[in-house]
Structure 1
Amino acid sequence: MSITLKNVFAPTPTVTRGKSVFVNADPKGTNLVYACGNAIIIRNIKDATVADIYYEHPAATTVARYSPSGFYIASGDVQGNLRIWDTVGKEHILKITLKVLGGAILDLAWSADSQRLVVVGDGKERFGAAVFWDSGASCGEIIGHSKLIQTVDIKSSRPFRAMTGSEDFNVNWFEGPPFKFNKMAATFGRFVNCVRFSPNGDKVVAVSSDKTGVIFDGKTGDKLVDLQGGHAGGIYGASWSADNARILTSSADKTCKVWDATTGACLKTFTFGDTTNDQQLGCLWINDSLISVNLDGEISFLDEANVSKPSKVLKGHNRSIGAIAYDPTTKTVFSSSIDGVLYQWDLHTGIATPFTGVAHKNQVTQIQISGDSIITCAKDDSVKISTISSRTYGPSIGIDSPAVGVSVAGDVVVAASMKSIYVIRAGKLVSTTAAAWEPTSISINTNQKEVAVGGKDNKVHLYNLAGDKLTDAGALEHHRNFVTAVTYSPCGTLLATGCANRSIMVWQGKTEKVSGWVNHSARINSLSWTANSNHLVSASLDGCVFVWDVVKGDQPIQLKNAHPGGVNIAVWTSPSQFVSAGNDGAMKFFDVTFK
Structure 2
Amino acid sequence: MSITLKNVFAPTPTVTRGKPVFVNADPKGINLVYAVGSAIVIRNIKDSTVADLYYEHPAQTTVARYSPSGFYIASGDVQGNVRIWDTVNKEHILKITLRVLGGPILDLAWSSDSQRLIAVGDGKERFGAAVIWDSGASCGEIIGHTKLIQSVDIKSSRPFRAATGSEDFAVNWFEGPPFKYNKQLTTHGRFVNCVRFSPDGNKVVSVSSDKTGIIFDGKTGDKLVELQGGHNGGIYGASWSADSARVLTASADKTSKLWDATTGACLKTFTFGDTTEDQQLGCLWVGDSLLSVNMSGEIAFLDENNVAKPLRILKGHNRLVSAIAYDANTKTLFSSSIDGVLYQWDLTTGLATPFGGVAHKNQITSIQVHGDQIVTCAKDDSVKISKISTHTYGPSIAIDSPAVGVSVAGDVVVAASMKSIYLIRGGKAVATVAAAWEPTSVAISPNGKEVSVGGKDEKIHTFTVNGDSLAVAGLLEHHRGQVNSVSYSPCGTLLASACSNREVMVWEGKNKKISGWVNHNARVNTVAWTSDSKHLVTASLDGAVLVWDVVKGDQPVQLKNAHPGGVNAAVWTTENSFVSCGNDGAMKFFTVTFK
Give the TM-score taking structure 2 as reference length: 0.99
Code of the aligned partner of 2:99: K
Code of the aligned partner of 1:279: Q
Distance 2:106 2:537 in 1: 40
Question: How big is the shift at 1:123?
Answer: 0.2
Question: How big is the shift at 1:291?
Answer: 0.2
1:392 aligns with 2:392: yes
1:301-335 deviation digits (Å, cap 9, x = unpaired) = 00000000101000010000000000000000000
Question: Counterpart in 2 of 1:235?
Answer: 235
Question: Counterpart in 1 of 2:212?
Answer: 212
Q: Is the 8 A contact 1:254 1:280 kept in 2?
A: yes
- Percent identity, aligned pairs only, is 79
Distance 2:34 2:20 in 1: 12
Q: Is the 8 A contact 1:239 1:248 kept in 2?
A: yes
Question: Counterpart in 2 of 1:311?
Answer: 311
Question: How big is the shift at 1:428?
Answer: 1.1
1:62-89 deviation digits (Å, cap 9, x = unpaired) = 0000000000000000000000000002
Distance 1:454 1:177 in 2: 65
Question: How big is the shift at 1:515?
Answer: 3.6
What SS class does the counterpart of residue 187 from structure 1 fall into?
A: coil
Code of the aligned partner of 1:146: T
Question: Counterpart in 2 of 1:120?
Answer: 120
1:468-526 deviation digits (Å, cap 9, x = unpaired) = 11111110111111111101110000000110000011001464544421100000100
Code of the aligned partner of 2:266: C
What SS class does the counterpart of residue 65 from structure 2 fall into?
A: strand
Distance 2:510 2:237 in 1: 62
Q: Summarize the alignment of residues 253-402 of structure 1 with structure 2, pairs less than 5 Å apart.
A: 253-402=253-402
Distance 1:101 1:237 in 2: 23
Question: Counterpart in 2 of 1:520?
Answer: 520
Code of the aligned partner of 2:317: H
Code of the aligned partner of 2:192: V
What SS class does the counterpart of residue 552 from structure 2 fall into?
A: coil
Matched residue pairs, number? Answer: 595
Distance 1:468 1:446 in 2: 17
Q: Is the 8 A contact 1:505 1:512 kept in 2?
A: no
Q: Summarize the alignment of residues 163-178 of structure 1 with structure 2, pairs less than 5 Å apart.
A: 163-178=163-178
1:228-262 deviation digits (Å, cap 9, x = unpaired) = 12210000000000010000000000000000100
1:498 aligns with 2:513: no
Question: Counterpart in 1 of 2:543?
Answer: 543
- Structure 1 outlier segments of 4+, above 3 Å: 509-515
Question: Counterpart in 1 of 2:15?
Answer: 15
Distance 1:447 1:150 in 2: 59
Q: Is the 8 A contact 2:406 2:416 kept in 1?
A: yes
1:42 aligns with 2:39: no
Q: Is there any run of 5+ residues in structure 2 with no aligned partner, and where? A: none
Q: Is the 8 A contact 1:246 1:261 kept in 2?
A: yes
Code of the aligned partner of 1:568: N
Distance 2:254 2:515 in 1: 58
Q: Is the 8 A contact 2:14 2:318 kept in 1?
A: yes
Question: Counterpart in 2 of 1:144?
Answer: 144
Distance 1:336 1:429 in 2: 24
Distance 1:454 1:369 in 2: 21
Q: Is the 8 A contact 1:416 1:439 kept in 2?
A: yes
Question: How big is the shift at 1:131?
Answer: 0.3
Distance 2:364 2:54 in 1: 27
Q: Summarize the alignment of residues 51-130 of structure 1 with structure 2, pairs less than 5 Å apart.
A: 51-130=51-130
What SS class does the counterpart of residue 5 from structure 1 fall into?
A: strand
Q: Is the 8 A contact 2:252 2:279 kept in 1?
A: yes
Distance 2:365 2:513 in 1: 28
Question: How big is the shift at 1:187?
Answer: 3.2
Question: How big is the shift at 1:188?
Answer: 1.0
Code of the aligned partner of 1:559: L
Question: Counterpart in 1 of 2:153?
Answer: 153
Code of the aligned partner of 1:55: Y
What SS class does the counterpart of residue 277 from structure 1 fall into?
A: helix
Question: How big is the shift at 1:90?
Answer: 1.2
Question: Counterpart in 2 of 1:26?
Answer: 26
What SS class does the counterpart of residue 277 from structure 2 fall into?
A: helix
Distance 2:132 2:536 in 1: 50
Q: Is the 8 A contact 1:476 1:510 kept in 2?
A: no
Q: Is the 8 A contact 2:508 2:514 kept in 1?
A: no
Q: Could you say what the CA RMSD is over the residues aligned between the two structures, in angstroms?
A: 0.7
Distance 2:196 2:512 in 1: 65
1:468 aligns with 2:468: yes
Question: Counterpart in 2 of 1:480?
Answer: 480
Distance 2:187 2:228 in 1: 17
Q: Is the 8 A contact 1:324 1:571 kept in 2?
A: yes
Give the TM-score taking structure 1 as reference length: 0.99
